[in-house]
Each structure stands twice: as C-alpha cells, then as structure tokens.
Structure 1
C-alpha cells in the first residue's frame, strides 16, 4: 500500500504491526543486556586507522559476527586498509540493498574526556543536577533505563548502528522472518579521514557493490529523537582569496598611510558578497532553487523549535536566507571559515602585512554545481575591478595592477538528494510508521557533507541516510556517547527497514 507523505495517516495503519503478533519491544527488552555487552565488547577495540592491526581486529569482529547469520565475507583490496563486504542472497527475485557503515573513529585527546580511557566504555546516568555519574556495569542485570548512556569513542559514530542492524537480523532469524530484499553491507575503514580506501575501490568493485538502493547508516537522528529519514546532503567546494600589500611586511609607523593594507581590500571583497541579512549578493548564486508547495510543506513539517535552537546556538536571530532552519539548508551557502595574514606569531606586531587570506567553503545543493558556483565567486571579484590570478603576482604585475587577487580553488563534490516520494522513500516511511505508530521525520537535505557522495553518484543508486543515534552524542568530540533508548529504537528501525519491499 502506498500513501502520499503529506496525507493524514489513518489510525488503522498506525496500529498495524509488522509480521503478525511479534512484540519487538518485548523481544528487544528480553535480550537488551546481551546487546549492551556485545556493544561494549565491540567499542572496546580501538578503531583509529593509524593502527592497522587494531583496525583488522575491528573488521574481523564484524565479519565473524555477521558470518554466524550466513553472510558471505570478503575483504576487498584498497589503496590502504581492506574493505569488508558482506553479502547474503535470500531470494534471487528480490531487489538488493547496499548498506554503508564506517568502522573507524575520530582521533581522541584523552585529557579532555571525563574517563580514564576513551576506548574503555563507561556506563553513566544523569543525577538530579544534570551531572553524569558512573554506574557499575552490573546495573544492566536489573531494569535498564533508556536514559542511561555508554560513553566511549565510536560508541555512537558508527559502532552503535552496526550493532543495531546485526541484532535486527538476529531477531528476524529467531522469529523465522526473512528480509524482503537481498543484502550487501560495506564497511568503510577510513570515513573519518576522507573515505579514500572505499573510494579507491569503486571502479574496481563496482559490480560487487551493484544494488537497487543504498542505505547509509550514519549520523544523529533529529533532535526530537524521533525516527528520521534523510534524503540527501549538501556537497562542498572550497576556494582561497588572497590580497596583496607590499612585497614584504612593513613597519606601520614608517609606512602607515602609504602602503596599502591587504586586510582592508580583503574585507571589502568579503563584505560585498553578503548583505546584512546573510543573503549572498553574488550574481545567480541561488539560481535554480525552487520549492513546490508539497516540498515547502515537507520542510515546514520538520519539528524544529526555533527558540530552543537559537538559545542553544546563542544567537538572537538567524540569517534570512530561508524562512526556517530546514529551508535554509536547501540553498547553497557561502562561508568564510578562516582569515589570516602573513604574520603567524602569537602576539600582534605593528606591521602592515604583505598578504591577507580568506579560506572559503561553499556548500552545494543538488541544483548547484561546485565549479559553476566558484566561477560565480571569481566573476564577482573581477567585477569589483580586481585582476584575478591563480598564482602569486610577479613584480611586473604588482607594478601594473593596483588591485590583485590570487584565487585558488577546489571544485569539490556535488550534493545528492533522493526524491522523498520515490519507491525507496515511500516504502521506508510506511514500514517505520507501522512499527513506531507515527510517521518518521523526513529531512529533505541535511547540512553536512559525507565523503562518499561521489560513490553514490558513481554507483547511480537511490540513497537514503538513516540516522539512529542521539543528536547530543558528542560525535567527533570528547565524551562521545550513545543513549540506551536509541539502541532499542535503532534496532526497531532496522527491523522496519529489513521488512520493506524495496
């Protein structure tokens, strides 16, 4: 049965459970202690790619556990660490879904963690004052609180989703239920470092990765912690703008009012690119962006609390590119991420710097191309009267042109977005609605960029990101954690996915 996303979902659909009378909550609760122990064992294996032996230990842990469910295990050669690929065919007539996880973690600074070792998981609960206190692991032998959390590097990003899918498959196997599609699962060993290993295998193993759909299990759910489907993410292009003063730094007393300061020319360029409301003034920067009334409603339906968001960010009001947070993410953005001069010391000096630099990132949406957007930025600078070079100016050029900019660039990677009413999107929404009793939150485009966008495009497959961990999990930061309730709900999410006829 299909239904339009924007239509009201009848109660008889909401109350309908997947696959007869299986009570997934009771089943998960019955085995939750073992699942937590399993997660603890997995997270206890450090997963920094710089240590190949430990990464292989992580890969073997995953391969061995999934092998017990009948998966074929392959290690694919890459430019560095091997890629783990798992495959299982349930029915040759079924479609095939490629799941993507990453198995590596971010670097750690142990001094900033509230525990002795970031790779030794710690169970904690929050006290009346909101402070986290350590629990003995024996606590899981009693009633397990959904609000307890496991603190460790990679506890959420991305080991929790790996454990969620593993246990969802176990539960279906126990209940004698077969997934409704054939499964391939790829585990990226270097996602946090650019996915070079995975991307290096795409052309060689394209047929091995071939599938009818791709599900990316990564990232946090909506801050409401409700089931979430994300249908795309923004791409990114980067450039650096450099302006010039004298050939060498000059004493501001001797040459102030005589030698041009490149900081002021740079600031003039940057201020010409945006108005006071945050809208980009570069010609045609937003060209091609359009929302249908249905798409506009989808954006408005995401339950963001603007007041709470602004309070958390510490801003009185946001920029006015979109009417709300979700709408703002549908437009390309122009961000100055770093400004610097030729002076790199710890203390200021009374000098006129020889150069000033602005490092810029341009976030891309499906309607925009990285090369085209950077071409517009360059043209804007030229229209301000600057001679734009892709290198430092020669002495002759310094004497010939009064306004010079060096413009260097990386066209980056473009965005991807899957139609919300595609077969993949509609089917996942239907089954998540059945198992949770409410329509999941649909995010049209998330703000960040995942390094595997180029793989999605090369494989030419509809892809959806299914985030399952808590938004406040501190991924990439000290005190990363996973909420126990998200482990429960993530397993249910995986069960719903596995029972979707894609």
Structure 2
C-alpha cells in the first residue's frame, strides 16, 4: 500500500510540474508573439554606427523600452556615441549579473537585398524551389510557422536578441517571478566599428558596471540549431597593406613588361604568408597556441557534422589548420577580408594600376599578443624586400626604393575564455537544461569576435555567451534574417535564465 501511495505521489508531482511548465510555455509564447511589434519597430530604425543621428534614435528607443520595464537608465558618455546602461535591482539580491546587448548593425547595400528596404522588416516563407517569398507580417500574430524568417538588417546581429530579452522580462512579470539577483544591461552602439571607445568607457564607468558575472546575448547557435552556450570568443585586430607602382595608372600595352604591377606584387606578397593547407607560414605566428589531449576531448563533444558544414559553405575540403572544425577555431587566423586595385567586369581597363590595397584581419585567441602578431606580419613584409611607410610615398622615396608598401594596423579587442565549471557556466547550464530538457551544446571558443575582453579584464568577471539565432542568418551580408522559431526559443532561453536562482 505504501508503495502505491508513493507512486501516486510521484505521478501527481510530475503532473503538477508538467501543468506548470505548460502554463509557463503559454506565457512565454504569448509575449514572444506580442514582441513582434517591438521587433518590427526597432528594425525600422537604421543603425549604421557611421551615422550618429540614427544611433541617437536607437538609444532613445532603448531608453524608453527599458524604462517601461522598471529599469533606471544612464548614458555612459564617450567621445562619440554613448553606451547605454539599464539597471533593475532585486529585493534581496545575492549577485549582480551584467548583460551585454549589441544594437548597432553593419552598413547595407540596398541593391543586394531582395525586398523593398533592409530597414523594412519582411516576413518570408521558403517555397519548394528554395526561394524566399514575402508574406504578410501580420501572420506572425496568428498561426506561426517556426520556419518562417524575418528579413531586415540586425534581425540576427543583434536586435533580435535584445527584443527577445525584453519579451522574456515581460513574461517574467506576468508569471510573477522575480530574479534573486540585480540585473545590469550594457548596450553597445559601435560594435560593428570594433567598439573603439569601449575599453576606456569600461575603465571610466567601472563602478557603474561592477558585477559578479557577465552574459552576452549575441551570436548564432551551433550549426545543428540546438541550444548552445559559448564560453569564449576570439579577439580581433586589422591590418591595411598598400603596395605602390607607377605614380598613376598607365597603359598596359605601352608600359607592360617594364612597369612593376602593384596588384601582382601584392598578390605574391599575400600568397607568401600561407601554405596550400591554409596554415600561416610566418615564423612564430602560432607560438603559444597548443591543444592538450584533454582539450581535444572537450572539443570532440561538440556534435559537428563536417560534411554538412562543407555542404553549407559550398567547399570540397577545408583548410587544415586544425584537425577538425572546432580545433580550427582555437588558432589565430590571418584573413584577407578585402582587395582593391582597379576595375573588373564591364569597367575593366587595359591599365597597370598605381596601387593595390589589401585589408586583413587577425582573429585572436587567449594566448595571442596582437602587437606581436601585427609585428610578425610587418617583419615578414620587410623580409620580402619592401620598404614600409605609414603614408603615401614621396617622390624621393619612389626613386629610392624598388618595393614600397604602406602599413596601418589597429587592435579592437582581445579574446576571452571561461571554464565550463565556472559558477556562471554551471548556472546557465542548469537554466538551459530546465528550459529544453537537455544540456546545451557547450562551445569552448566561438569563431567570431565580440568586444567582451574589456569587461572580463577590467571588471574581473567571468563571461559566457548565450546565442539564440540560426547559423544561416546572413549576418553582415545582404538579406540578413532570423528564423521565427529561433526567436521564440530565444525568449524561452532568456526567461529560464531570469528564472534560475543563483
């Protein structure tokens, strides 16, 4: 009899818990749907950080949105546009959690977008032939297809995450659940410019930003689209190299075989920096970056299907910097992100160009010293016989040096990495497990770069990323989008994080 009563009690407990979860899921979905209005509204505000007047409109929108939810807001002034901080205190806080949101976005080329405007959020459905067809945005308030997508600049990077967070706060209020920790939110409006003022701002406002842990609501999930936590991200620095030829473009027939071509020389110079497997050949570039067997085992736990990754990328085989996709993310990169000389296509001319320009970026890992890596690249160029300048050559320099190149560089921010078993890592893992019934995929280091190291270093806090968007979101490119199912899952993710006790 006792055993029967025990089993009945267990069944009753499970039923009550399931009923509670169903009720919470209904609240979450309700506020996710209602928030599509806010998402549409903020996506209509252009957010290219090159245009401060547009950024001011975004700041005001965020000030209003957070004030409506009981947050006190404060502008953290910088020499350009401010950061925006929002704070809401708990009744009996045990900790303070700092949340990072990115509000600015990449510049757009409207001619490459398959819709009226990148600033007009457009709901689309994929047809049988794979094309995305526009449908009425109002359908989001009716029967939702999770595979629909909303197309607009910053849907995924990263206004979508910001609005999902606001929706989660609204759902928490209806559910009458209060976090047992203070919430501080820092909003960045220059992330796509490399957050050039962030480090000094964090130092200046260190007291305002003081916290115990730091979570980043940004980035895409693992390519499998399963719930994901990211425990690190690479930093970034950039280099601009310009090689010089004749003073002005000259006729390739009249002066070919006599006048050195700066585009050809730049091509040869860049090719000398890597081998055919994609590994950087500059001595010392990978110094200090080694993977232990234990670390390799951790990386193997990520369920990558490299055949699917290759199919998604449209490549037959990858570079061989690491032994796997995850291993490749643990090394610094040297990437050509842009090349320019003269004309192509219909505008092509029979000319020898006057100069050629290469834009490079270096993705940094925790063991990387950016100044050292930049110095190694510069030294390599000198060893190829180039006299390096920091400006355009003078007439005297043109007559004196057979190989001329200018070299400019800058460091945006460093890499960071947080242990899986850190307090913030274990807390987020619990929250995600409760939300989705299984542990999230845990990524040791994400491939992209986010400006987190100033917070980690200056505030002395551990940081973990909570990405929610679909990996195939066209981030930074034309036709950026967010999958509707990912957005709703994002609201659920943030709700369970807010709910989880510290």
Q: TM-score range by the shorter chain?
A: 0.7 to 0.9
Distance 1:436-1:18 versus aligned 2 partners, 3 A rule: farther
Does residue 219 of the first structure (1) align with residue 219 of the second (2)?
Answer: yes
Counterpart position of 1:285: 285
Counterpart position of 1:439: 439
Q: How does 1:31-430 map to 2 (within 5 A)?
A: 31-48=31-48, 55-91=55-91, 93-196=93-196, 201-243=201-243, 257=257, 260-263=260-263, 265-341=265-341, 346-351=347-352, 355-384=355-384, 388=388, 390=390, 405-430=405-430
Higher helix content, 1 or 2 = 2
Q: Does the aligned pair in 2 maintain the 1:103–1:188 contact within 8 Å?
A: yes
Structure 2 Cα separation of the partners of residues 386 and 50 of structure 1:
34
Q: Kindly state the Cα deviation for residue 211 of structure 1 after the two structures are TM-superposed.
A: 1.1
Unaligned runs of 5+ in 1: 1-14
RMSD in angstroms over aligned alpha carbons?
A: 3.5
Q: Kindly state the Cα deviation for residue 234 of structure 1 after the two structures are TM-superposed.
A: 1.7
Structure 1 Cα separation of the partners of residues 42 and 407 of structure 2:
46
Distance 1:194-1:243 versus aligned 2 partners, 3 A rule: closer
SS at 2:35 equivalent: helix
SS at 2:284 equivalent: coil
Q: Does the aligned pair in 1 maintain the 2:27–2:174 contact within 8 Å?
A: no
Q: Give per-residue Cα distances to partners, 1:429-464, cap 9 Å, x unaligned.
A: 122122211221222222222345445433332222
How many aligned residue pairs are there?
Answer: 487
Q: Give per-residue Cα distances to partners, 1:300-356, cap 9 Å, x unaligned.
A: 2222222222223222111111112221111111223344458999433354x5555
Structure 1 Cα separation of the partners of residues 273 and 77 of structure 2:
46
Structure 1 Cα separation of the partners of residues 16 and 213 of structure 2:
24
Q: Does the aligned pair in 2 maintain the 1:145–1:484 contact within 8 Å?
A: yes
Structure 1 Cα separation of the partners of residues 177 and 287 of structure 2:
49
Counterpart position of 2:448: 448
Counterpart position of 1:7: none
Structure 2 Cα separation of the partners of residues 438 and 17 of structure 1:
20
Q: Give per-residue Cα distances to partners, 1:277-302, cap 9 Å, x unaligned.
A: 11111112111112233321232222
Q: Does the aligned pair in 1 maintain the 2:240–2:408 contact within 8 Å?
A: yes
Distance 1:123-1:387 versus aligned 2 partners, 3 A rule: closer
Q: Does the aligned pair in 1 maintain the 2:93–2:182 contact within 8 Å?
A: no
Distance 1:254-1:109 versus aligned 2 partners, 3 A rule: closer
Structure 2 Cα separation of the partners of residues 272 and 479 of structure 1:
35
Q: Does the aligned pair in 2 maintain the 1:18–1:434 contact within 8 Å?
A: no
Q: Kindly state the Cα deviation for residue 389 of structure 1 after the two structures are TM-superposed.
A: 5.2
Distance 1:226-1:250 versus aligned 2 partners, 3 A rule: same
| Stretch of structure 1 that moved more, 430-439 or 22-31 | 22-31
Structure 2 Cα separation of the partners of residues 238 and 307 of structure 1:
31
Q: Kindly state the Cα deviation for residue 90 of structure 1 after the two structures are TM-superposed.
A: 1.0
Unaligned runs of 5+ in 2: 1-13
Distance 1:224-1:381 versus aligned 2 partners, 3 A rule: same
Q: Kindly state the Cα deviation for residue 64 of structure 1 after the two structures are TM-superposed.
A: 3.4
Structure 2 Cα separation of the partners of residues 319 and 350 of structure 1:
34
Distance 1:278-1:170 versus aligned 2 partners, 3 A rule: same
Q: Does the aligned pair in 1 maintain the 2:252–2:350 contact within 8 Å?
A: no
Structure 2 Cα separation of the partners of residues 141 and 381 of structure 1:
58
Counterpart position of 1:9: none
Counterpart position of 2:5: none
Counterpart position of 2:26: 26
Q: Does the aligned pair in 2 maintain the 1:17–1:434 contact within 8 Å?
A: no
Q: Does the aligned pair in 2 maintain the 1:238–1:360 contact within 8 Å?
A: yes
Counterpart position of 2:477: 477
